Structure 1
Amino acid sequence: MVTISGSAQVFPYVSHLRVYEPLEAFSDAQQLAILAQRTRERSETDAIEHEQSLRRILRTISDPFPHHEPDLMRITHFPTSNGSTTPYYCPNQLAVRTALAAESLDQSLRGPLIDVLVPEVAREAHQARLDPETFADSVAKLHTRSATWGVPFAWFALIHEDDLTEVVEDEDRVTTVRITARIGDCIDRGKRSIAHLAVAAPEMDLFDEITELVEWLGIFRRDAVVEVDYGPVAERVFPDDSPSDVRLGIESLAEADMLGAAAAYRRLASRWIPIRQLARAS
């Protein structure tokens, strides 16, 4: 486990699942953007993203979309077999992700509220700013998934507690925890969980969620790495046994050990349900 320090930033409870690939996996334009940002620290990238989001929220006219902001690139360094580290890169793809988020919001909300939050004129203007030549490719290969009010249990099926872990602290406060693993290991773990659940509990939402994650990971290079970034919710749960609890719960189901599965779920529920209830708190 590596503990590093980062600047204090107050984010909403948003967690991220990211895929990082080597430089040669990207287009020439993306490689130029990566090379221009390759010396920037992760804490600085997070601070820039936070500042930009605040600027969008505080606009006098409701418009949450980015306006011609250069895409941020995150960099992680993962150990190699010879003891050195290799850089891997994850494009933020904010313009595409905000377009997809607005579309999802439009499907879940009805009436005047959607026009207050995301006015149609702002959506149309954002759509006009998107590059049609790269939009489809970006949608097909999104490197980042986000979740609010907690880390989805399906994400924990991809990682183990002994994977590379960074604890980011600021003045003795945990600001996030990042767990990184090779994509091949994540896919194998996901497939193992799918096989167990297919026999023991195919009706569970977790079965469909892990299946969808494994299909998503399958579009990336086999030399990529996967990162679960807890975000600020880490302060409430870390140290966290959720990866082992999810694994033990699935294995218990496969062995028809209902007591073991129930115990694992109780541990997960006691840890995460109070956090998810905050989404409905006034």
Structure 2
Amino acid sequence: MQDVTVVRTSVLPPYAAHLRVYEPLAAYPEPERADWQAYAAEHGPDASAAEQSVAAAVLEEQREALAELAARTPRALPEKESGRAYLRIVDGVLYVCPWATRLRSWQALEELRAGAPVALLDTAVPPVTRAAAEADRERWLAGHPDARPWILTSRWEVPVRWFLPFGDEDRCFVPGGTDGEGVEGERGRPAALFYLVPMAQARRRVARAYRALREAVPEGELVRGAEQVGRWLEEFHPRSLVELDYGGLVHLLGPERLLADRSAGELEDGLRALRAGDTAEALRAYGELTVRWRRVLALRQAN
């Protein structure tokens, strides 16, 4: 395929994007705060500036997950919750985004059950295994009623609603190597495209978009998406950071398309037109953005 890039790594990153929240260390109650502080002292930050990516740490998470599968009989979910996290330092403040692998595995199992054919689902995760995992989840949720993931994952596309918290000025593209393939940067760091913004700004943008969309297209898909994203963001500390990471999609799209991609800015332009009363221009911008990402999503059927 013309725009697909070869990945020079022992692990092929999944074609998935991630929406993450990094909460400041002070947001965590004890003893979690002390645990994350000790973890940060031992491991160091994955990104020590806003313009740095956590792509290398994402590959590390993927390698760890594959090692778990290779070392034992595959399970529907890990036996215990991960003690790992993505760490960012911005303006001298430590921000923590826990992997929460077990919680996310439950969610992935729920998505698989909702979207996969029954025959495939039963082969991948037998009914007895699913029932045990679901019972385990119910017991865990009874003791953690406020649990929510710090990371949302979307495979083969970036949902248009995920761009709502961001503007084009929040975009950061970290190119790959000098060989033009966009794979590994200097010192072996992978290529990345991500947006990073303070929580207050993210909430403000989503709220403004929701108001405009609710007035113009109250039954539209994007207004429901804005409500969904807004509710999720409200679960976190107001001084958090919000990140949209293209993840493994950078290897699917290729460097030329990444350089040209301005999805958040295009959505922002469309919302600006909507607020100005130019519904036709707003629909045109939203339609073009949606069609482009649906073409990316369609690649999952390619061979």
Q: TM-score, normalization: structure 1?
A: 0.83
Task: Give, in whole Å, the separation in 2 of the partners of 1:28 and 1:134.
Answer: 20
Task: Give, in whole Å, the separation in 1 of the partners of 2:115 and 2:65.
Answer: 22
Counterpart among 112, 120, 128 of residue 119 in structure 2: 112
Residues 231-242 of structure 1: matches in 2 within 5 Å? 231-235=247-251, 236=253, 237-239=257-259, 240-242=261-263
Counterpart among 194, 199, 203 of residue 183 in structure 1: 199
CA RMSD of aligned residues (A): 2.9
- How far is the alpha carbon of 1:190 from its aligned partner? 0.5
Identity across the alignment (%):
25
Aligned to 1:199: 215
Aligned to 1:260: 281
Equivalent residues, number: 271
Counterpart of 1:208 in structure 2: which amino acid? R
- How far is the alpha carbon of 1:231 from its aligned partner? 0.8
Task: Give, in whole Å, the separation in 1 of the partners of 2:143 and 2:111.
Answer: 17
1:95-132 deviation digits (Å, cap 9, x = unpaired):
01111221232233453322212223434555677695
Task: Give, in whole Å, the separation in 2 of the partners of 1:135 and 1:227.
Answer: 29
Task: Give, in whole Å, the separation in 2 of the partners of 1:124 and 1:15.
Answer: 28
Contact 2:76 2:109 in 1 (8 A): no
1:128-167 deviation digits (Å, cap 9, x = unpaired):
7769567753763321111111111111111011126352
Task: Give, in whole Å, the separation in 1 of the partners of 2:55 and 2:274.
Answer: 40
- How far is the alpha carbon of 1:238 from its aligned partner? 1.7
- How far is the alpha carbon of 1:25 from its aligned partner? 1.4
Tell which deviates more after alignment, 91-100 or 25-34. 25-34
1:171-205 deviation digits (Å, cap 9, x = unpaired):
55153212110111111100111111111111211
* Shift in alpha-carbon separation, 1:217–1:63, aligned structure 2, 3 A: same
* Shift in alpha-carbon separation, 1:187–1:50, aligned structure 2, 3 A: same
* Shift in alpha-carbon separation, 1:106–1:53, aligned structure 2, 3 A: same
Counterpart among 202, 210, 221 of residue 237 in structure 2: 221
Aligned to 1:81: none
* Shift in alpha-carbon separation, 1:278–1:144, aligned structure 2, 3 A: same
Counterpart among 45, 63, 86 of residue 57 in structure 2: 45
SS in 2 for 1:158: coil
Contact 1:96 1:135 in 2 (8 A): no
- How far is the alpha carbon of 1:91 from its aligned partner? 0.5
Aligned to 1:161: 168
Q: Does 1:98 pair with 2:119?
A: no
Listed as ranges, the gaps of 5+ residues in structure 2 are 1-7, 47-53, 184-190
* Shift in alpha-carbon separation, 1:210–1:36, aligned structure 2, 3 A: same
Counterpart among 63, 83, 94 of residue 87 in structure 1: 94
Task: Give, in whole Å, the separation in 2 of the partners of 1:179 and 1:202.
Answer: 28
Q: Pick the structure with more strand per residue.
A: 1
Counterpart of 1:238 in structure 2: which amino acid? L
SS in 1 for 2:83: coil
Task: Give, in whole Å, the separation in 2 of the partners of 1:35 and 1:170.
Answer: 33
Contact 2:45 2:89 in 1 (8 A): no
Q: Does 1:243 pair with 2:255?
A: no
Aligned to 1:35: 37
Counterpart among 13, 17, 21 of residue 19 in structure 1: 21
Counterpart of 2:281 in structure 1: which amino acid? G
Counterpart of 2:58 in structure 1: which amino acid? D
Task: Give, in whole Å, the separation in 2 of the partners of 1:74 and 1:54.
Answer: 18
* Shift in alpha-carbon separation, 1:120–1:33, aligned structure 2, 3 A: farther
Counterpart among 59, 78, 89 of residue 77 in structure 1: 89
Q: TM-score, normalization: structure 2?
A: 0.77
- How far is the alpha carbon of 1:68 from its aligned partner? 3.6
Task: Give, in whole Å, the separation in 1 of the partners of 2:176 and 2:143.
Answer: 38
SS in 1 for 2:12: coil
Counterpart of 1:34 in structure 2: which amino acid? W
- How far is the alpha carbon of 1:46 from its aligned partner? 2.0
Tell which deviates more after alignment, 166-175 or 188-197. 166-175
